Amino acid sequence: MSARILVVDDAPEIRNLLKRTLSGHGHTVELGEDGVEGVQKARSWQPDLILLDLAMPRMGGLTACQQIREFSQAPIIVLSVMGEEQDKVRALDAGADDYVTKPFGMDELMARIRVGLRRAAGGGSPDIFTCDGLSVDSSARRVTVTGQEVHLTPIEYSVLSYLVANAGRVLTHNQILAHAWGPEYASELQYLRSFIGQLRKKLGDSAARPHYIMTEPGVGYRLRSPDWE
Amino acid sequence: MRTKRLVDTSLSLATVGVLSLAIGGLLSLWQLGNLTILYIPGVLWLAAKRGRLSALVASVAAFLVYDWFFIEPYHTFEVGQPQEWISLGVLLMVGLFTGEAYALLRRQSEELAEHDRHRQLLAESDRVKSSLLAAVSHDLRTPLAAIKASASSLLQPQTQFDDDARHEFLSAINTEADRLDRLVRNLLDMSRIESGALEPRLEWHNLSEIAADVIDRLQPVSDGHDLQLVADDHEFLAEVDYVQMSQVLTNLVDNAIRHGAPGAAVRVIVNENRVTVENQGSHLPADELDRIFDRFYRGGGKASGTGLGLAIAKGVVEAHGGRIWAENTSAGVAFQVQLPNRRTEALPA
């Protein structure tokens, strides 16, 4: 799957490295040096996907993300460093699709890009989602793990199907809470954490090494995606 | 401040009272003029001990008492003999001048002491910075050297490496870059701890999940030590900053690897809100059990590590309101992290 990818980062080393790698994977790449240029090229060049650094001079990634979302629905993957969790959450809540933390491995970035492009291609989630033994049939509302049926409460199913619809992509605590319980619950983090613990247990996930529902510290949760393998 | 003034004034009046009684008693033996002198050591003593105000109060009080009781006509503030004015004037002047002089001296010596403290602080911070620099440049160079060597080998135009060798060089670059990343994180954390800017963002997490994450990341660089997680598979949530706590466990496991017997296992035991990281190897001398948490302290002569890891672990754990300590076990050394006991509420399902 070849796509048009806009890379916006103020560090030339990162820009050039990403250009080379992404071109090597068959994508067409355009570069931007800061948020202002990023917004401008997102408008004129109409990329399929945007990699956006958070900390940049002139205009940071967060503002750029908000402005791009006014005219474009192209997936935005935020590049950030450790410790910017709150900025990541703000960017995700402002419409970014996902993030990777610098320094990142290329395999990780490529997996995020695949997930982003697939979602943007509008394939939608198939009726039956399967990943590594977990299978969720959305028309029959049936969940099985290695063939064994798992009984979920309506809210558990609602959270799981929301994760399935966004498989491979991070969902913030707020997004999950608002989706399953309503916006007035958006700050009940502890509630969500216990709830995810229960859901993992029902899916046979270990508390120490969850296989399906991954924790994104300080940000939210991510369901394992078949795209990763 | 008001109490100090009250104490100063009462002490001054009491001193003058005592001295006046003494003068009254000695009046039958000696001449009055000589006895005036007795007030002066009192005023000097007050100036030295209690400062300007005491000396001033004492000299004015001495002036008035002397005039009232000892100068004719008695029990009036009138002065019969003109030469008595001289005694009175001298008394007052001595009081005022010595008071000022002592106060000045005291201020100067306080300023000097302050200056000295400041200089000591600067010297201490200088010392910290140069040890940090020394430790860091050593520790930055090691992974940098490995990266440089691997990359430049691969770049050599005339040498052909087979796939295994190429892979080895590339994974060295990869793991050493991760090591650099961990080191930079430690440096950032250290400077945050030093400046008091380390604020944990507390969320509910299962400590065994953090421990497993750390073990999975460190296993490939564990130098042949088997990293084991011992944890109940039940959900217990502790209120921690995930990133900071994973840095604590990373530092403890890294430390356990470096000081463990070659090839011996390192175990991370999670029991609700207590985490134990234990290795097998030599014991720590009793006097080092506390000192290993000091910045730049490198135990046992084995000069590896910045001496920052354990100091950071302690800083972070304490910022969480928890405790960290080291103890010798039968097989080696165990580091214990105990986090405060705040249970989650039961959830409405």
Q: How high is the pLDDT of residue A72?
A: 93
Strands (E), B71-113: none
Q: Measured between beta carbons, which residues in chain A are less than 8 angstroms from residue B235?
A: 194, 197-198, 201, 207
ipTM of the modeled complex: 0.82
A39 pLDDT above the threshold of 70 = yes
Average pLDDT, stretch A20-26?
Answer: 91
Q: How high is the pLDDT of residue B33?
A: 67
DSSP assigned state of A209:
S
Task: For residue B113, report the phi and psi dihedrals to the nearest 5 degrees.
Answer: -65, -40
Confidence of residue A118 (pLDDT cuts 50, 70, 90): confident
A9 pLDDT above the threshold of 90 = yes
Average pLDDT, stretch A51-63?
Answer: 90
A229 pLDDT above the threshold of 70 = no
Q: CB within 8 A of A213, min separation 6: which ones?
A: A163, A196, A199, A200, A203, A205, A221, A222, A223, A224
Terminal alpha carbon distance of chain B = 60
Is residue A29 a contact partner of residue A18, using CB atoms and an 8 Å limit? yes
Q: CB A208 to CB B177 under 8 A?
A: no
Q: CB within 8 A of B177, min separation 6: which ones?
A: A103, B143, B147
Residue B34: both structure tokens together: 């000589």
Q: Measured between beta carbons, which residues in chain B are less than 8 angstroms from residue A87?
A: none
Q: How high is the pLDDT of residue B63?
A: 81
Least confident of A94-98, A152-156, B188-192: B188-192
Q: Is B245 on the interface with A (CB under 8 A)?
A: no
**Beta partners for residue A170, in sequence order:** A222
Q: Is B217 on the interface with A (CB under 8 A)?
A: no
pTM of the model: 0.71
Q: How high is the pLDDT of residue B347?
A: 43
Q: Is A190 on the interface with B (CB under 8 A)?
A: yes
CA distance A153 to chain B (A): 9
Q: Measured between beta carbons, which residues in chain B are less than 8 angstroms from residue A82?
A: 185, 243
Terminal alpha carbon distance of chain A = 16
Helical spans, DSSP H, in A55-145:
61-69, 85-93, 106-120
Residue B144: both structure tokens together: 């940098």
Helical (H) or strand (E) element with A13: helix A12-24
Number of H helices, E strands in chain A: 8, 12
CA distance A21 to chain B (A): 16
Q: How high is the pLDDT of residue B105?
A: 84
Over B16-30, what HEC string results? HHHHHHHHHHHCCCC
Mean pLDDT, chain B, as a whole number? 83
CA distance B203 to chain A (A): 7
Q: CB within 8 A of A76, min separation 6: which ones?
A: A49, A50, A52, A65, A68, A69, A91, A95, A96, A97
B306 pLDDT above the threshold of 70 = no
Least confident of B165-174, B183-192, B302-311: B302-311
| Separation between Cα atoms, residue A131 and residue B135, nearest integer Å | 47
Which one has a higher pLDDT value, B32 or A118?
A: A118
Average pLDDT, stretch B7-35?
Answer: 81
Q: How high is the pLDDT of residue B303?
A: 46
pLDDT tens digit sequence for B42-99:
888 888 788 778 888 888 888 888 888 887 778 877 777 777 777 778 878 877 787 7
Contact pairs from chain A to chain B, CB under 8 Å: 72
Percent of chain B with pLDDT over 90: 21
Confidence of residue B102 (pLDDT cuts 50, 70, 90): confident
Is residue A112 a contact partner of residue A77, using CB atoms and an 8 Å limit? yes
Cβ-nearest to B347 among A83, A195, A209: A195
Residue B55: both structure tokens together: 């000396």
Q: CB within 8 A of B306, min separation 6: which ones?
A: B135, B136, B138, B139, B183, B186, B296
Least confident of A3-12, A69-78, B139-148, B340-349: B340-349
Cβ-nearest to A190 among B204, B209, B233: B204
CA-based nearest residue to A5, from A50, A64, A61, A45: A50
CA-based nearest residue to A55, from A82, A75, A31, A76: A82
Q: Is A187 on the interface with B (CB under 8 A)?
A: no
- Which residue of chain B has the CA closest to A200? B235
Q: Is A81 on the interface with B (CB under 8 A)?
A: no
Residue carrying the six token digits 């190897």: B281
Mutate to test the interface with A, among B186, B201, B235, B267 (most CBs of A within 10 A): B235
pLDDT tens digit sequence for A144-160:
999 899 999 999 999 99
Question: Strands across the sheet with A148-150, in order?
Answer: A128-131, A134-137, A142-145, A148-150
pLDDT tens digit sequence for B104-140:
888 888 899 999 988 888 887 777 677 777 767 777 8
pLDDT tens digit sequence for B262-276:
889 999 999 988 999
Percent of chain B with pLDDT over 70: 92
Q: Within 10 Å of residue A70's Cβ, how many Cβ atoms? A: 9
Q: Is B197 on the interface with A (CB under 8 A)?
A: no
Confidence of residue B305 (pLDDT cuts 50, 70, 90): low
| Separation between Cα atoms, residue B15 and residue B54, nearest integer Å | 10
Q: How high is the pLDDT of residue B184?
A: 85
pLDDT tens digit sequence for A183-204:
888 777 888 888 999 999 999 9
Which one has a higher pLDDT value, B322 or B9?
A: B322
Q: Measured between beta carbons, which residues in chain A are less than 8 angstroms from residue B212?
A: 208-209
Which one has a higher pLDDT value, A136 or B136?
A: A136
Angle (CA) B231-B232-B238 rounded to 5° is 80
Q: How high is the pLDDT of residue B280?
A: 93
A105 pLDDT above the threshold of 50 = yes
Task: For residue B86, report the phi and psi dihedrals to the nearest 5 degrees.
Answer: -65, -50
Compute CA B190 distance to the chain's CA centroid, rounded to the nearest angstrom: 14
